[in-house]
Chain A
Amino acid sequence: MAGTTKVPQSSTATDQLPAGELDIVPVRNYARWIAAVASVLALVGLVGSLAKNDNLHWDVVGEYLFADLIFDGLATTLWLTAAAMLLGLALGTLIAVMRLSSSPVLYGLANAFVWVFRGTPLLVQIIFWGYAAALYKYVKIGIPFTDVTFFQAETNSLLTPAIAALLALGLNEAAYASEIVRAGIQSVDPGQAEAAHSLGMRPALTMRRIVLPQAMRVIIPPMGNETINMLKMTALVSVISAHDLMSNIQDVYAQNYQVIPMLVVASIWYLALVTLLSVPQAWLERRYGRGTTRAAHVSPLRRLLGGTMERLGKNSKEQNR
Chain B
Amino acid sequence: MSTPMVRAEGVRKHFGKLEVLKGIDLTVERGQVCCLLGPSGSGKSTFLRCINHLERIDGGRLAVDGQLVGYRRQGDKLHELREREVAERRRDIGMVFQRFNLFPHMTAVENVMEAPVKVGSVPKAEAREQAQELLTRVGLGDRAHHYPAQLSGGQQQRVAIARALAMRPKLMLFDEPTSALDPELVGDVLDVMRQLAADGMTMVVVTHEIGFAREVGDTAVFMDEGVVVEAGDPRRVLVDPEQERTRAFLSKVL
Q: Residues of A at under 8 Å CB distance from B?
A: 189, 191-192, 194-203, 205, 209-210, 213-214, 288, 290-293
Contact = CB atoms under 8 A, between A and B. Distances in A.
24 contacts: A194-B97, A195-B101, A195-B102, A195-B160, A196-B103, A198-B90, A198-B94, A199-B91, A199-B164, A200-B87, A200-B91, A200-B115, A201-B87, A201-B115, A201-B118, A202-B83, A202-B84, A209-B114, A210-B103, A214-B104, A290-B105, A291-B105, A291-B148, A293-B149
Contacts of B173: 198
Contact of A195 (B97, B107, B167): B97
B54 A192 contact: no
Given A199-B163, A200-B88, A291-B148, A194 B119 contact: no
A205 B118 contact: yes
B212 interface: no
A194 B93 CA distance: 13
A192 to B, nearest CB: 6
A25 to B, nearest CB: 36
A310 B17 CA distance: 61
**Chain A to chain B: the 3 pairs with minimum beta-carbon distance, closest first:** A200-B91, A195-B101, A198-B95
B121 to A, nearest CB: 12
A292 B102 CA distance: 13
Contacts of A201: 87, 114-115, 118-119
A194 B103 CA distance: 11
B52 interface: yes
A203 B83 CA distance: 8
B190 interface: no
A192 B102 CA distance: 7
Contacts of A195: 95, 97, 101-103, 160
B90 A200 contact: yes
A101 to B, nearest CB: 12
A200 B88 CA distance: 6
B101 A191 contact: yes
Contacts of A197: 54, 87, 90
B71 interface: no
A196 B54 CA distance: 11
A209 B94 CA distance: 19
Contacts of B167: 199-200
A213 B107 CA distance: 14
Contacts of B249: none
Interface string B50-85: 001010000000000000000000000000000110
A202 B91 CA distance: 11
Contacts of B149: 291-293
B247 to A, nearest CB: 34
A195 B95 CA distance: 8
B119 A199 contact: yes
A213 B101 contact: no
Contacts of A199: 90-91, 114-115, 119, 163-164, 167
Contacts of A192: 101, 103
- Which of B104, B164, B173 has the most chain A CB within a 10 Å cutoff? B104
B118 A194 contact: no
B214 interface: no
Contacts of A200: 87-88, 90-91, 115, 119-120, 167
B84 A198 contact: no
Contacts of B87: 197, 200-202
A290 B88 contact: no
Contacts of B163: 199
Contacts of B52: 198
Contacts of A202: 83-84, 87
B243 to A, nearest CB: 32
B25 to A, nearest CB: 24
Contacts of B160: 195
Given A200-B115, A201-B87, A189 B148 contact: no
A129 B107 CA distance: 48
Contacts of B147: 290-291
- Which of A196, A203, A213, A293 has the most chain B CB within a 10 Å cutoff? A196
Contacts of B148: 291
Given A199-B163, A209-B118, A291-B106, 20 more contacts: A192-B101, A194-B54, A194-B101, A198-B52, A198-B54, A198-B93, A198-B173, A199-B115, A199-B164, A200-B87, A200-B115, A200-B120, A201-B118, A201-B119, A202-B84, A202-B87, A210-B103, A288-B105, A291-B104, A291-B107
